[in-house]
Structure 1
């Protein structure tokens, strides 16, 4: 069987710039933080499933799912050659796990647990800015933001982040201190207030899937509440962005206008 899944994942990882451009990485701080949080949650679920808590959070779960699993010699050699260029043992462990688990899912899908894809949030994290490093206190330096990984048990209670599409991740990334709001009950439209160097920017996530200026946010928090708006955390905001992107993708494509005549074959 051709190892399409393993090769596809390996090609994605090959395209990662592990030490990324500083400005680009800083522009993706918010999405990278939420992706890391989702990876830690999923890693806790998988560690619980296979009694691998001692290896959590950055580990090759394929060794626990099926210790006898092996990639083909050719793919294994390609993976080993690639891992020699990856900085850091935890990065290498997760890259190896992502390639092997992708192939296991394709070859033996029935043997996989009913759990979310473990490595997808972390691979997206890598693709959006490269490496993370440990600080002296055991925290994670995500470049531009510090992150405490916590414990497996603590991460099991983290709200899930399912909206992993590029539109959602791009919409989460911005500058300044951000607060999200929506109608009572968490209904669209989604609004946000950004404060950048003391300057306020009020924006609405529009039907074209872009943030645009709005005057729908009152100036004070008390007035915001009186207007029937409630604050949202970034997970709830991401879900609304994902819903909007899903609706947009289901819209029929506009029919071309102009020349009439027989359709092309």
Structure 2
């Protein structure tokens, strides 16, 4: 980050439509993945700082440098942005993200082996607003169990945060992903991926193509009929995201950065 990073985070927060229920619904899948990644990163930082009791919505800067404060002008403006928002933990994370950005501007000795704690959460907010916290995390479209520090710290990382990749994961219905595998094309580097969506009783089979979009495919139906020699295995959303991002990077010629 460079100078004034805290103000850039502030402007990102200012641009969010916190009441956009349609965006929250449209981006339900990617928002769930982003929240889970935030919980994982927060668990790593909580454990590194000895702040397990403050997880999941902790102020990392407070535990790294308790004396450091957000610049007064930015701190005052963020309170205007947060006025009327709930729950309290959401406000805490927004303040913490700004304070963390400000701290990174002036400190070059912060742990380099831990990922940015707040970027997944900021992206989640930008894709449909906040959440409600009761027995589960309610993202206005999907429910997430919190778990604990250890279960989240050991979770699979979701490092593909590019907007195009996140968009490609958002779709209606129950989705199952498959990787097309064969000799020389293992699960982690498949020939391609397909998905089956079941939405309101209708089944849709789609392949992610070189046009960087999902398009209808008969692959799964043909395979069931014995007409395909290429095999496939079921994969996770995170594995599908990694494939989408790698293909996008190859075709567009530049990999996307991962905070």
TM-score normalised by structure 2 residue count: 0.89
Q: 1:178 aligns with which of 175, 178, 181?
A: 175
CA distance in 1, matches of 2:115, 2:97: 13
Q: Report the equivalent of 1:8.
A: 8
Gaps of 5+ in 2: 255-259
Give the superposed CA RMSD.
2.1
Q: 2:193 aligns with which of 190, 193, 205?
A: 190
- Provide the secondary structure at the position in 2 that maps to 1:149: coil
CA shift at 1:146, angstroms?
Answer: 1.1
CA distance in 1, matches of 2:231, 2:79: 56
Q: Given the alignment of the two structures, is residue 164 of structure 1 paired with residue 161 of structure 2, yes or no?
A: yes
CA distance in 2, matches of 1:62, 1:113: 15
Q: Given the alignment of the two structures, is residue 101 of structure 1 paired with residue 104 of structure 2, yes or no?
A: no
The alignment of Structure 1 onto Structure 2 pairs a total of residues equal to: 247
CA shift at 1:216, angstroms?
Answer: 1.6
- Provide the secondary structure at the position in 2 that maps to 1:67: coil
Query: Is the 1:41–1:160 Cα contact (8 Å) retained in structure 2?
Result: yes
Q: 1:237 aligns with which of 228, 235, 240?
A: 240
CA distance in 2, matches of 1:64, 1:221: 55
CA distance in 2, matches of 1:3, 1:75: 13
Sort the Cα spacing of 1:4 and 1:225 in 2 relative to 1 into closer, same or farther, 3 A. farther
- Provide the secondary structure at the position in 1 that maps to 2:219: coil
Task: Map 1:146-161 onto structure 2 (within 5 A).
Answer: 146-161=143-158
CA distance in 2, matches of 1:192, 1:202: 6
- Provide the secondary structure at the position in 2 that maps to 1:201: strand
- Based on CA coordinates, which of the two structures has the bigger radius of gyration? 1
CA distance in 2, matches of 1:222, 1:50: 55
CA distance in 2, matches of 1:198, 1:224: 26
CA shift at 1:129, angstroms?
Answer: 0.7
Q: 1:139 aligns with which of 136, 140, 156?
A: 136
Q: Report the equivalent of 1:47.
A: 46
CA shift at 1:228, angstroms?
Answer: 1.2
CA shift at 1:61, angstroms?
Answer: 1.2
Q: What whole-Å deviation, never above 9, does each CA across 1:33-88 have from its counterpart, x for those lacking one? A: 11111110001000001011101001211100110112322222222333334322
Q: What whole-Å deviation, never above 9, does each CA across 1:169-218 have from its counterpart, x for those lacking one? A: 00000011111111232213111111122221111111121111111223
Q: Report the equivalent of 1:19.
A: 19
Q: 2:204 aligns with which of 195, 201, 204?
A: 201
CA distance in 2, matches of 1:164, 1:38: 10
Q: What whole-Å deviation, never above 9, does each CA across 1:119-140 have from its counterpart, x for those lacking one? A: 01101111111110012xx211
Task: Map 1:25-36 onto structure 2 (within 5 A).
Answer: 25-36=24-35
CA distance in 1, matches of 2:10, 2:65: 20
Task: Map 1:56-67 onto structure 2 (within 5 A).
Answer: 56-67=55-66
Gaps of 5+ in 1: 252-265
Query: Is the 2:43–2:55 Cα contact (8 Å) retained in structure 1?
Result: yes
